[in-house]
A and B are shown apart, each in its own frame.
Chain A
Amino acid sequence: MFFGASEFDITKAQAHNDATKRLSQVVIRVHDLHKYFQVPIRQRGRFSALRSLLVRRHRLVKAVNGVSFQIGRGELVGYLGPNGAGKSTTIKMLTGLLVPTHGEISVNGRIPWKQREEHVKSLGAVFGFRSTLWWDLPVIESLELLRYIYDVPLARFKDNLREFRKILEMDAFINTPVRSLSLGQRVRADVCAALLHDPSLLFLDEPTIGLDVVAKERIRQFILHANRQRGTTVLLTTHDLSDVEKMCQRVMIIDRGKLLYDGQLESLRQRFGGKRELVVELVDEEDQISIEGAIVTSRQGAQVMFQFDRDQISASELIQRISSNYRIRDLSVREPDLEATIRRIYEQRLLEDAV
């Protein structure tokens, strides 16, 4: 889960620039969104079933409690949060499945639940554990039926299918009924189905949950492809931080119905990342090593690991100090892993004042 400077690839930075350029065109506008649920309280003791039938007592759960954000055309945004934080509820309101208790949503200029049929025509959605395909139909027949439902022109359908089949490697199971697919194959088929009608928006709720590493990677590649090549705006919820690291420039973090963070992944890391690490391989094995501004956390032969605080000393300054005292063969800077960063945010609620 390390994220070294060398791994920061150029395409990602490029995509980031494109995204900022397109940001002028806001496609999703959410203002002060609330969703409350009445959850019945189960009564205990004698005649509990009868009592709960007669006197229904409820508890108000504020699943989403005052969330506001905007997403621009072509952005790829990760929506993070622990279980029950309000991620899925937000997605359901954005896709028009749920009506908010309070607040405003506008997607492509439409109010999702008021113009449901119009609205869902322009979006694709994948809900990780649940397939939207027909259980008994071979994948290809499900896709053909969807073509009819979404009025996709035949030529467009064929082009898209050819492209998606290749990227998602669907040839092996395209004629298999959905019920006989493995989870990985099923999610691939679902993702393919979600994009066949060229939606301008793609909502993914836990798209990689339960998948193995290879399948995850394939799905991620495909989502990135859709985002970059087709300019599809993507909002995805996930538990899996490597999803976020590999795909998103922007993250939103929600917990207990409130948005804790909304911004670039990088600045999240910088602001709340805590300690960074510098691994240095020296030419000679030294007996004593001490450098001002950093502490040595481990040593293995000629390899030394320093820990330092980004607020107190920059990496280049630290390297300078080391190299003036010792001969360096090789070095690398390690960022703190994202999981630890986010855990700190949840636990210490670091961002509550910040947003």
Chain B
Amino acid sequence: MKALRLYLWLVLIQVRSQMQYRVGFLLETLSVALGSIISFVTLALVLQKFEGIAGWSLGEVAFLFALVELSFGLMDMIFSGFDPDYFAAHTRQGTLDQYLLRPVSLTLQIFGSQFILRRLGRIFQGTLILVYAVQLVNIEWTVGKILYLPLVIAGMVLFFGGLFMLGATITFWTVERIEAVNILTYGGTELMSYPMTIYQDWMRRFFTYIVPAIFLNYYPSLYFLDRPDPFNMPFVVRFIAPVVGLGVFLAAYVFWRFGVRYYQSTGS
């Protein structure tokens, strides 16, 4: 309870200091939202020309795209403190010490150390496209689907959050952030925005067995859109998104704890 209150307190501090420059904040949020809407409009125009991708209609691809956008935006806000681009500064300047001097979990303090509110722009944009997609596709909503949707989003937040945490932890060794991890995170969002059938087999296998991204957005979407599975996996894999997300997050968390211990034994 105390941890939760402290977390909310720390986030509130972040929010308040970002709101001090209200006009700047609004403009930035708006430009972020506009930026990704434009990229979606481009995609939509192309899709209309070709009448979909790999048998997926515009609305169906928009659904995939929107779900990733929304989840990644949420994650980018909640996990701001672990964003490797930002976290690398901690290891470079040794500012982690001030957190380690407080009798509170380091992880909680990093979560509370940054909360970038302008990510709302991306969340807003994702929601907008999601609503648009649902209109286009005419999804048959069942109780199961309604209950599962937030779990899928949570799964993706945990998955991308885990990747952020992984990238942050690596800076304990490298000091500088590593581009390869960014390729995974940002490349992952791109990849997950399209039906998996458009990729080559080796790539799909990589994102099935090495980085299990396929289960987070693609398979749940097959369920929401009532589409058949071209890869003949068990039906149940449409429902494992939250478990996979949690698994990736927990693995990243264990690695993070290990990294912190390494940092304490070597840091200067």
- Using a CB–CB cutoff of 8 Å, the interface residues on chain A facing chain B are 37-38, 63, 89, 92, 95-99, 113, 116-118, 120-121, 125, 127, 130-132, 134, 136-137, 145, 148-150
- Chain A residues closer than 8 Å to B54, beta-carbon distance: none
User: CA–CA, A97 to B17, complex, Å?
Assistant: 29
Complex Cα spacing A113 to B5, Å: 26
Taking the complex as formed, is B184 at the interface, i.e. its CB lies under 8 A from any CB of chain A?
Answer: no
Find A120's partner among B5, B95, B102, B268 (CB 8 Å cutoff): B102
B266 touches A38 (CB 8 A): yes
Does B9 sit within 8 A of A, measured CB to CB? yes
**How many angstroms from the CA of A308 to the CA of B16 in the assembled complex?**
66
Which chain A residue lies CB-closest to B113?
Answer: A134
Inter-chain CA distance A291–B80, complex, in Å, is 77
Q: What is the interface of chain A mostly: helix, strand, loop, or mixed?
A: mixed
In the complex, which residues of chain B have a beta carbon less than 8 angstroms from the beta carbon of A148? 5-6, 9
Interface flag for B187 (CB, 8 Å): no
| Interface of B toward A, CB cutoff 8 Å | 5-6, 9, 13, 16-17, 20, 95, 97-98, 100-105, 261, 264-268
Q: Is B95 a contact partner of A149 (Cβ separation < 8 A)?
A: no
Decide if A97 touches B103 in the complex (CB within 8 Å).
Answer: no
Known: A97-B264, A137-B13. A92 touches B104 (CB 8 A): no
Residues of B within 8 A of A149 (CB): 6, 102-104
Q: How far is the CB of A142 from chain B (nearest CB, A)?
A: 9
* Bound CA–CA A117/B102 (angstroms): 7
CA distance A21 to B250 in the complex (A): 52
Q: Tell which of A92, A98, A113, A121 touches B103, judged by Cβ atoms closer than 8 Å.
A: A121
A15 to B102, CA, bound (A): 30
Contact B98 A130 (CB under 8 A): yes
Q: Determine how close the nearest CB of chain A comes to the CB of B101; give it in whole angstroms.
A: 5
The answer to whether A117 and B264 have CB atoms under 8 Å apart is: no
Question: Hey, which chain B residues are within 8 Å of A134, CB to CB?
Answer: 13
Known contacts: A130-B98, A134-B13. The answer to whether A37 contacts B104 by CB under 8 A is: no
Closest Cβ neighbor of A135 among chain B residues: B17
Q: Give complex CA distance A97, B264 in Å.
A: 6
List, in ascending order, chain B residues with CB within 8 A of A132's CB. Answer: 98, 101-102
Docked Cα-Cα span, A149 to B102, in Å, equals 8
Contact A125 B266 (CB under 8 A): no
Which residue on A lies nearest to B18, using beta carbons?
A136
Nearest-Cβ distance from residue A189 to partner chain B, whole angstroms? 14
In the assembled complex, the Cα of A36 lies from the Cα of B101 at a distance in Å of 22
Inter-chain contacts of B104 with A (CB < 8 A): 117, 149
B9 — which chain A residues lie within 8 A by C-beta? 145, 148
**Could you tell me if B6 and A97 are in contact, using CB atoms closer than 8 angstroms?**
no
- Asked if residues A98 and B264 are in contact (CB atoms below 8 Å), the reply is yes
Known: A130-B95, A149-B6. A97 touches B101 (CB 8 A): yes
Distance (whole angstroms) from the CB of B106 to the closest CB of chain A: 9
State whether A127 touches B97 (Cβ < 8 A): yes
- Does A117 lie within 8 Å of B101, measured CB to CB? no
Q: Which B residue sits closest to A39, measured CB to CB?
A: B268
Additional A-B contact list (12), CB under 8 Å, known A130-B98, A136-B20, A148-B6? A97-B100, A97-B101, A98-B264, A98-B267, A113-B264, A117-B103, A120-B103, A132-B98, A132-B101, A134-B13, A145-B9, A150-B103
Q: Please give me the residue from chain B that is nearest to A177 by CB atom.
A: B17
Q: How far is the CA of A95 from the CA of B97 in the complex (A)?
A: 10
In-complex Cβ contact of A117 among B105, B261, B265 (8 A) = B105
* Cα–Cα distance between A261 and B103 once the two chains are bound (Å): 33
CB-nearest residue of chain A to B97: A97
Q: Which chain A positions have C-beta within 8 A of B268? A: 37, 63, 89
Q: How far is the CA of A150 from the CA of B101 in the complex (A)?
A: 11
Tell me how far the C-beta of B263 lies from the nearest C-beta in chain A, rounded to whole angstroms: 9
* Docked complex Cα distance between A132 and B98 (Å): 6
> Closest chain B residue to A137 by CB distance?
B13
CA distance A38 to B261 in the complex (A): 16
List 5 A-B pairs, Cβ < 8 Å.
Answer: A97-B101, A97-B267, A145-B13, A148-B5, A149-B6
A37 to B13, CA, bound (A): 37
Minimum-distance CB pairs A-B, first 4: A136-B17, A121-B103, A99-B265, A132-B98
Instruction: A292 to B104: give the CA distance in the assembly, Å.
Output: 68
In the bound complex, how far is the Cα of B5 from the Cα of A118, in angstroms? 20
* A161, chain B: closest CB distance, angstroms: 19
Residues in B with CB closer than 8 Å to A96 are: 100
Closest A residue to B14 using CB positions: A136
The chain B residue with its CB closest to the CB of A89 is B268
Distance between Cα atoms of A118 and B104 in the complex (Å): 9
Could you tell me the distance between the alpha carbons of A38 and B268 in the complex, rounded to whole angstroms?
A: 10
